[in-house]
């Protein structure tokens, strides 16, 4: 089941999650609100190959509607997660 969050226009919404890649360090977490066409990257320095990375992403919707946030991690080999995680956001006026 994909988690669904509810929000209002102009009010920040916080998403939280955990990234891990057994045997590799997570060097970044990337987020997309346009079905993976563009990704916003946040580097995660000073991680190691046995550490989960807890992330947060704040988004303030400007218009009502239904959004899907895609999230993926990037490891120290430069490889992005083969499949992104999803979170749904339903925004009212």
**Residues forming a β-bridge with 74:** 28, 80
Q: What is residue 22's predicted lDDT score, i.e. its pLDDT?
A: 86
pLDDT per position as a tens digit, 17-32? 999 898 899 999 999 9
pTM over 0.85: yes
- Judged by phi (left if over 0) then psi (alpha if -120 to 50, else beta), residue 46 lies in left
- Token code pair at residue 40: 């916003």
Strands (E) in the chain, as ranges, are: 4-8, 13-19, 26-32, 40-43, 53-59, 65-75, 85-92
Pairing of strands 40-43, 26-32: antiparallel
pLDDT per position as a tens digit, 47-86? 998 889 999 999 999 999 999 999 999 999 999 999 999 9
CA distance 53 to 50: 10
């Amino acid at each position: 089941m994909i988690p669904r969050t509810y929000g209002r226009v102009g009010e920040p919404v916080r998403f939280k999650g955990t990234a891990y890649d057994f045997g590799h360090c997570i060097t970044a977490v990337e987020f997309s609100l346009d079905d993976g066409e563009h990704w916003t990257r946040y580097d995660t320095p000073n991680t190691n190959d046995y550490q989960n990375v807890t992330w947060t992403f704040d988004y303030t919707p400007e218009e009502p509607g239904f959004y899907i946030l895609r999230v993926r991690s990037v490891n120290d080999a430069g490889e992005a997660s083969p499949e992104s995680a999803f979170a749904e956001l339903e925004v009212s006026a």
